[in-house]
Structure formats: structure tokens, C-alpha cells
Chain A
Amino acid sequence: MSVSARIAVRRGTLALDVAVEVADGEVLAVLGPNGAGKSTLLRVLAGLLASDDGRVVVDGAVWDDAPAGTHLPPHRRSLGVVFQDALLFPHLSIAENVAFGLRSRGAGRAERRAAADAWLDRVGLSGSGDRRPAQLSGGQAQRAALARALVGEPALLLLDEPLSALDARTRLTVRAELRRHLAAFAGSTVLVTHDPVDAMALADRVVVVEDGRVVQAGTPADVSRRPRTDYVARLVGLSLLAGTADGGTVRLDAGGAVAVAEEARGPVFAAIRPESVALYATRPDGSTRNLWRERVVGATPHGATVRCELDGEVPLVADVTAASFAEMGLAPGAEVWAGVKASEVAVYAR
């Protein structure tokens, strides 16, 4: 393990207490809602904030050891940080920005310029070295900020919501580029984000932080298929139902029951994807084992479909095509039947 950290910080109402490990070349995404403590975690790793308790060890070097009173200041850590706003120094040219960290280490002018040009080339900004930050678009500025963070070949790269200030189109291209650069990066990366797409697209592993605690950890695929909290379920668009399994039936904690195809026992989660939920205006005939009377409480357009929030015996989210939505008259308040095949319900231990 290249980065091994346990961090405890108390700031106002936030009590952060998390442990993370990141291997060389690995990208760890820290996913969580605003105010969960993600940025605080990042600031402690960067040394900009002292941890009240815990230890940060990177490549065998102790960066923080709160009980022992050790705190390496940020400028002595082998770091690269990309913030949400690129934060390029406005008084320096793009090349000077990129070479800033090399100058801190006493590299000569020619060496700095050569390294800056090479990195600008790698991030697709060749020829922009003499421009000013104000002359760059948001996507270009974020590319330059990435080059600035990576030029010193740091042991640890920290990305703080690096894509969230970009417009949707730019975000797609910059995300794809970032993925390429992260794959080529030899050190460890910690990516802080509230966007599950960033986490899924960029990370090898995901930890979900809520209220200062790690509530779930795993591969992106695992976290998105088997969410363990409502927050994660909502992010990945699943309906998450907690209950107790007894063979082919899950009795839900909130009342009601779900028939499942897989045999299971004990406390479980049942997760249902919105596209697996079929809506009917009248009670359908057939073999669907899960059939509930529901009321539409909310509807939002979601690509070519409309995502309907349903309440009733079992709270559900359902995707229907815009055409069916109109034909069935599914305004909020409408009563419908919702059917889910038992084989479409994922069951996993709590």
C-alpha cells in the first residue's frame, strides 16, 4: 500500500473519522453528499489542515501522526492537487503555472520551460504556454491545472471535484482525458466527487462517505449494483429496500413483502432497477409475482424516459417512456399498478 491513512477531524458539526488505503497506480474515489467531509479529508491529506487524530503514511514516510505531534507541512509533501476551479495563478503565463512546482525545487529556467512544454503537449495545450489563464476556456484551464499538478511526478495526486465546474459537454471530453492520464500515472490518486459517473468512470475503488463515516467501500461495479445506503441507491438510481429474507420472500422492515428469485436468509437488501418496474393503469393478468398498488408522487424527465417516484405499499422508482407516461396520464397523484418480476430483484446480505 502506498497511501495508508486514518483521519479524524472535528470541525463544527462535522465529525470525520475515516480510514483509506490506496495502492501505487490506483485511483480511489471518495463519493459522498455535500458536507460529508470529503473535502476535509482531502485537505488533511494535502497537509492544509491538521488532523485531530490519526496517521497518514505515504510510501513509508509519515506525513501526519497526530498522537506523536508529527505534521509535515504541505510544501514538503510529494503532492499534486487539482481543485474544482482550476485556480491557475492569474499573474503567470500557462507555462509558468505548469512549471511552478519545478521552480519551488530550484529547477533552472530552460529545464522548467522544457518540462512545461512537454506537459502542455501531453494535455493537448501545445502552443498555449505563453497565454494567460484568463484566455483559456474552463476545460483548457482544468487541463493546465492537471499538468501543473503532475509535472513534479508526485507520490499522491488529489482531485477535488475536478470536473464539476465544467459544462456537460466539456466534462465528457475532459473526463475521458483524465482517465487516460490517471492510467499512465504511477502514484496514488484520491478523487473526491459527488458525481457517481466520475467515480464509476475514473476509479478502481470507491469509498462512500456520509456524515464523516465510510458507509460503503468496493469496486465501482459492486457499489453501483449493490448500494448499502439510500444515498448511494439514489445516486445510482436504484430503489433500495431493507428487509429480512426467508427463502424466496423478503419481508420489508417498512412493511410489505417482495418475492425474489434467489434463495436468501436473514437481513438483506433488495434492490430494484427503475427500468425493471412496469406500470399498468389497470390490474394486469399474468405471472408477475410482485404487484403493488402505487401512487405517483413525482416525475422528472430522464433522457428519453420519465423517471416516476412511486409511493404505496413499497416505495419505488420507475422509468417509463415519455409516450406511455402521456398515454397513461401519469401526473403526480395518479394511481397505478406496479409490477416487478422476481428475477429482476437483486438480493444481498445487509
Chain B
Amino acid sequence: MPAPLLVPAALGVAFLVLPLIGLLVRAPWSAIGPALARPEVGEALRLSVVSASLATVLSLLLGVPLAWVLARSRVRGRSVLRALVTVPLVLPPVVGGVALFLVLGRQGIVGSWLDDAFGITIPFTTTAVVIAETFVAMPFLVVSVEGALRAADARFEDVAATLGADRWATFRRVTLPMVAPGVVAGAVLCWARALGEFGATITFAGNFPGTTQTMPLAVYLALQRDPEAAIVLSLVLLAVSLATLLLLRDRWLGRAAA
């Protein structure tokens, strides 16, 4: 193998892996048990998993139909739509949080109406966490599912139509099962992104233990007062992420590909 490729590649691997090794080396292994037993850690972890899962469900409900529209329909201005949908991918999450606040905050366009009509206030609630995470993570799902839809052979949908299936039945019985591995992969990416969400969450939902303080926020705060706790919390997040990835690869992606 040529050195001009090999050396940078090795450096790249080191760059990506060394920080994780550093985390493992510095881990106060004996302190892990007591740290995990602290109620605020359990609370942050539970909140993170629940809100990331809700954000993923919301993203699936909205994102899969959106991906279908982008990949299959002949709506005019589809490329503009696709660009708009993927803006959150490149937008700094803090900006997303500010934008959400401006729309859904008490003085916001939609927020003030929600407040007046129903007495609903979104910012600084667990709902706000889920919304912020969905905003940031859904594009990952949309992009992944749209790619799967484009790669899927649309002739199968023609066959289904000639066999009496309308477009909705075709989507349920043919399209969705055929792109299932792509949907699963997109959902995993989306969940992982939502789990790690920081910027939009802290801006739009704040940092209240028990209602809006997710793991990443807890890690950041802990690093300032108690670095050891921050390492423990980071390890937990790392373990959850890796476990999810491995589990889903073997359970769903592997079987779907076989």
C-alpha cells in the first residue's frame, strides 16, 4: 500500500480512537458503581433514553412519509424541499434551539397561540427536549430512508399496482418492507443523534434536572464541578451508543441483508 495513503489513514484512525481510549484509561473504575447509583444520574439517563426514543418515533412518523414524497412523488419544487429538510444537518444546533424558541416560545408565532388557546407552554419542558431532538435528528432519518427508496427498484411498485394494490397498500405491503433495512439504519442514526443532542436542547429546553437535563447536559455540568463524575457519565453514554450499534447491526441489519 502506498505510504501517502497509509500514513494519513493510520493517523486518522488514531485521531478517532485515541480520545475513546483516553476515556477508558482515565475511568475511575471503582467509582463507577457509586456514581451510577446517584439518583440524578439515573434520572438523566432515563430522561435521555425516553426523549431520544420519543424523538425517534416522531421522526419515523413524519420522516418516512417525507422521504417517500422526496423520492417518489412528482411534487414541484422537490429539490428545494429536500434542501430545506436537510438544513438542520448543517445548521449549528444552538441556532436550531434559538429558532425553535422564537416559534414555539411564549412570545413565538405558534407558541403564543398555543398558550392563548390551550394554555400550553412548551419551552423548558420534556416536550421541548423531544422537539429539539427531533428537529436536529430527523434529517438523518429522512436522508437515510430517501436513499433506500431511491435504491429500491420502483418496478416492484408497478407490479403491485397491476395486482390491485392502490398506492397506500403498495407502500405498506411492498415499498416499506423492501426499504426496512434503510429505515432501521436511519432510525438508529436518528436515535444516536438525539441521544447526544446538546445545543438545541439546552437553548430551547433549558437544563432542569428531572425534566430537561439529559445526559449530555449532565456531563457538561459535571465536568465543571466533578470531572470524575463526568467521565463516568461519558462512559455510560459511550457504552449505550456502542451497545445499540452492535445490537441493531446483528439483530436487524445483519438479518435483513442475509
Contacts and interface: CB of A to CB of B under 8 A. Distances in A.
| Interface of chain B: mostly helix, strand, loop or mixed | helix
Nearest to B162: A81
B159 interface: yes
B155 A83 contact: yes
Contacts of B156: 87, 89
Contacts of A101: 163-164
B161 A74 contact: yes
B166 A75 contact: yes
Interface in B115-164: 153, 155-156, 158-164
B174 A89 contact: yes
B74 to A, nearest CB: 13
B1 to A, nearest CB: 36
A80 B159 CA distance: 9
Nearest to B159: A87
Interface residues of A, number: 27
A258 B164 CA distance: 57
B169 A81 contact: no
B178 interface: yes
A331 interface: no
Nearest to B158: A48
A195 B167 CA distance: 34
A91 interface: yes
Nearest to B169: A104
Interface string A76-106: 1101110101010111100000001101110
Contacts of A80: 162-163
Contacts of A74: 158, 161-162
A171 B124 CA distance: 69
Nearest to B160: A100
A152 B155 contact: no
Contacts of B170: 75
A46 interface: yes
A69 interface: no
A259 to B, nearest CB: 54
Given A89-B174, A91-B177, A148 B161 contact: no
Contacts of B166: 73, 75
B165 interface: yes
B164 A152 contact: yes
Interface of A: 46-48, 73-77, 79-81, 83, 85, 87, 89-92, 100-101, 103-105, 148-149, 152, 158
21 contacts: A46-B162, A74-B158, A75-B170, A76-B164, A80-B162, A83-B159, A87-B156, A91-B177, A91-B178, A92-B177, A100-B163, A100-B165, A101-B164, A103-B173, A104-B163, A104-B164, A104-B169, A149-B162, A149-B163, A152-B164, A158-B162
